[in-house]
Amino acid sequence: MTTDTIAAISTAQGRSGIGVVRLSGPDARSIATRMLRLRDDLAPNHARFASIIDEHGARIDAGVVTWFAAPHSYTGEDVVEIAAHGSPVVLEWIVRRAITLGARAARPGEFTERAFLNHRIDLTQAEAVRDLIDAQTLEQARVAAEQVGGSLAARIRPAKENIIALIAEMEAGIDFAEDDIDTLPSEAIVERLNAVRAPMEELLASFAYGRVLHAGVKMAIIGRPNAGKSSLFNRLVESDRAIVTAIAGTTRDVVSERVSLGGIPVELMDTAGLREATDEVERIGIARSQQAMAEADIVLLVLDAEAGINEEERHLIGAMRNRSLLIVQNKIDLLGSDHTDDATLNALSESLGHYTATHRVSAKTGEGIEDLRAAILNLLRGSAVQERSGVLTNVRQQQAVHRSVDGLHRAHQAATSNLPHEMLLLDIYEALRGMDELTGETTPDDVLGLIFSTFCIGK
Ligand SMILES: Nc1nc2c(ncn2[C@@H]2O[C@H](COP(=O)(O)OP(=O)(O)OP(=O)(O)O)[C@@H](O)[C@H]2O)c(=O)[nH]1
Ligand SMILES: [Mg+2]
């Protein structure tokens, strides 16, 4: 347990209706009461009206104060929250006053760090608190909220219990080998390792969705001039963000906008049409298009359905074989009413082989845009099913689970080659260590410090 008391403004910087200063630590309550005039004493989990007073008893503000008694608080320590009017001057004064009375200014994330150190939450829950605050889409928030509730730890719990049971039995077998206790047969060990490995591998696979959900993706819209890239871009971002004209070579620079697709943050980039540049500005613009294409996680190639496909586009498609590529045939409105059977379109689809799934849209009328959105979303999620409870959302978590799966894998090999149990145990311990690393039980202090330093002050 920590012995000092920390204080910080927990609400956002700037003016607001209400602002909250939070205190946590053994002296939280005594420090708070010395700057408050209360009609009724503080009581655990009860809000109290109070005047906030300076050292001479003069009133600075009035607010609502709540005391959460240890250990039933966010940090596990005594916590007092003073909700005053949201004036930065007042809130900063309250923190200064608390410091004068014996508190210390909290570091970023220190409240959550204390919650972790006091075993109120594990490391995945702490990370989820940060993710929840940082969420840019509702889907990110939902997944984070589940994780704050401990869904990730819950997901590995059965595997961890099984591993510990297996270790205990194997250790007993080694320790009492002379006392005639049966050592586990290799087949039984392999079977039990498999039972643990399967869910851990599934968890590892969840990172595909978690990463996309967490970090978002970049998507570049490319194609020849006048194909309708900017028009499509505007459709997808649902605003007239990029300039659209009938002049080929309208877009000269990369225009980007963040949108949420199915809750996944997507940075959409409209680019200059690819062709032989006619001047210096266009040359630079096209170089930037190439750059955007190289950086993008997904490339959306826009073809002009009426004009068909040219050699350059065919070449580009060939070069994108190992990338995530969506081919869009735009301007289908120009093909007449029965374009679903259009010979040019179908011929193109067939000629593309691997990419038969081209998407037919009209950026002008909006036809096909919803289907395109759905196709993009499918590609974003990849093979990963949309999982809500307990997905790995950062590289640290992924590496921890990786360590565990690697250990299980090696243990499996050792067991099938009948290596001595002492050797096998080393790998199984490694698997356990990976699990503990995920929840923070064996995470070194400097790593913890790094994690919590990415939090906001006051959380
Ligand atoms: N009929 C029809 N016209 C379209 C469609 N999409 C775009 N256009 C028109 O095609 C022309 C070029 O559209 P843009 O969106 O500027 O094309 P772009 O690919 O961004 O062109 P650059 O920026 O020059 O590379 C404009 O006149 C658009 O109105 C469509 O689906 N149907
Ligand atoms: Mg354009």
Query: Which ligand is nearest to the Cα of residue 301, counting in written order?
Result: 1
Q: How far is the CA of 43 from the centre of ligand 1 (A)?
A: 66
Lookup: tokens for 445: 């202090």
Atom of ligand 1 nearest to the CA of 227: 19
User: Has residue 341 got a pLDDT over 70?
Assistant: no
Query: Which ligand is nearest to the Cα of residue 225, counting in written order?
Result: 1
Summarize pLDDT for 64-95 with one digit per residue, the tens. 999 999 999 999 999 999 999 999 999 999 99
Q: How far is the CA of 375 from the centre of ligand 2 (A)?
A: 22
E runs forming strands in 313-442: 324-330, 359-360
Q: How far is the CA of 247 from the centre of ligand 2 (A)?
A: 9
Q: How far is the CA of 244 from the centre of ligand 1 (A)?
A: 6
| Across 7-11, 167-171, 211-215, 282-286, least confident range | 211-215
Q: Band of the pLDDT at 322, cuts 50, 70, 90?
A: confident
Residues 6+ apart with CB under 8 A from 325: 298, 299, 300, 301, 317, 355
| Across 15-24, 246-255, 374-383, 404-413, least confident range | 374-383
Query: Which ligand is nearest to the Cα of residue 222, counting in written order?
Result: 1
User: CA-to-CA distance for 452 and 174, rounded, in angstroms?
Assistant: 41
- Looking at per-residue pLDDT, the higher value among 143 and 350 belongs to 143
Tokens 């959900």 sit at which residue? 213
Please report the pLDDT score of residue 445 as a whole number. 87
Atom of ligand 1 nearest to the CA of 248: 24
3-state secondary structure 33-78: HCCEEECCCCCECCEEEEEEECCCCCEEEEEEEEEECCCCCCCCCC
286, 277 contact by CB (below 8 A):
yes
DSSP 286-304: HHHHHHHHHH-SEEEEEEE
128, 112 contact by CB (below 8 A):
no
User: CA-to-CA distance for 110 and 458, rounded, in angstroms?
Assistant: 7
Query: Residues lining ligand 1, judged by CB closer than 6 Å?
Result: 223, 225-231, 244-246, 248-251, 272-273, 330-331, 333-334, 362-364
3-state secondary structure of 154: helix
Q: How far is the CA of 311 from the centre of ligand 2 (A)?
A: 21
Please report the pLDDT score of residue 352 as a whole number. 63
Q: Band of the pLDDT at 388, cuts 50, 70, 90?
A: low
305, 331 contact by CB (below 8 A):
yes
Atom of ligand 1 nearest to the CA of 362: 31
* CB atoms near residue 181 (< 10 Å): 12
3-state secondary structure of 86: strand
User: CA-to-CA distance for 26 and 1, rounded, in angstroms?
Assistant: 9
Query: Which ligand is nearest to the Cα of residue 306, counting in written order?
Result: 1
E runs forming strands in 74-233: 79-86, 104-105, 217-223
3-state secondary structure of 216: coil
User: CA-to-CA distance for 66 and 195, rounded, in angstroms?
Assistant: 47
Q: How far is the CA of 278 from the centre of ligand 1 (A)?
A: 19
Q: How far is the CA of 313 from the centre of ligand 1 (A)?
A: 17
- DSSP designation for 246: S
Please report the pLDDT score of residue 65 as a whole number. 98
Q: How far is the CA of 14 from the centre of ligand 1 (A)?
A: 44
CA-closest residue to ligand 1 atom 1: 331
CA-closest residue to ligand 1 atom 7: 228
Summarize pLDDT for 44-63 with one digit per residue, the tens. 999 999 999 999 999 999 99
User: CA-to-CA distance for 327 and 343, rounded, in angstroms?
Assistant: 17
Q: How far is the CA of 319 from the centre of ligand 1 (A)?
A: 25
Query: Taking all residues of the chain, what is their mean pLDDT, rounded to a whole number?
Result: 90
Atom of ligand 1 nearest to the CA of 330: 31
* CB atoms near residue 13 (< 10 Å): 12
The full set of domains in the chain, from first to last, is 6-122 (3.30.1360.120), 135-206+390-440 (1.20.120.430), 215-381 (3.40.50.300)
228, 302 contact by CB (below 8 A):
yes
User: CA-to-CA distance for 161 and 159, rounded, in angstroms?
Assistant: 6
Nearest to 168 by CA among 180, 156, 160: 160
User: Has residue 135 got a pLDDT over 70?
Assistant: yes
Summarize pLDDT for 275-292 with one digit per residue, the tens. 999 999 999 999 999 999
Nearest to 232 by CA among 62, 365, 421: 365
Query: Which ligand is nearest to the Cα of residue 242, counting in written order?
Result: 2
Please report the pLDDT score of residue 342 as a whole number. 60
Q: Around ion ligand 2, which residues have CB less than 5 A away? A: 229-230, 250-251
**Which residue blocks in 221-342 are alpha helix, DSSP H?**
229-237, 280-295, 311-319
Question: In testing the pocket of ligand 1, which one of 237, 240, 243, 244 has its CB within 8 Å of the most ligand atoms?
Answer: 244
